[in-house]
Amino acid sequence: MKLKKGDKVKVLRGRDKGREGKIERVFPKEKKILVSGINIYKKHSRPRKEGQTGGIIDIVVPLPLSSVALVCPKCGKPTRIGFKILNEGKVRICKKCQEVI
């Protein structure tokens, strides 16, 4: 996975296109990520137990990895991620400005 928890990403497709957010959780097997405040759906729930109230609940749904791009902390543009091997090991780099992320 090229994206990690805490990275700032920009949504490229879907109803939240153009919005930016921070990654809360990564699901590598499904190739999806959970971005805070983006891709929120409403779920209607019924009261299950006595005394419990039903209502409409906001749920954050994971986004496919292919529909987001990392926002480079140095240049501030959405970019692809590359790898470079340095003395300290393998590091991620911005494909636009060639800076270490």
pLDDT digits (tens, 9 = 90+) for 67-91: 999 999 998 999 999 999 998 899 9
Domains and CATH numbers, the chain: 8-72 (2.30.30.30)
Single pTM value for the model? 0.82
Per residue in 48-73, pLDDT tens?
888 888 899 999 999 999 999 999 99
Per residue in 23-41, pLDDT tens?
999 999 999 999 998 999 9
In 3D space, the residue among 55, 58, 53, 54 whose CA is nearest the CA of residue 42 turns out to be 58
**DSSP code per residue over 27-95:** ETTTTEEEETTSSEEEEEE---STT---EEEEEEPPEEGGGEEEEPTTT-SEE-EEEEEETTEEEEEET
Q: For position 49, what pLDDT does the model report?
A: 86
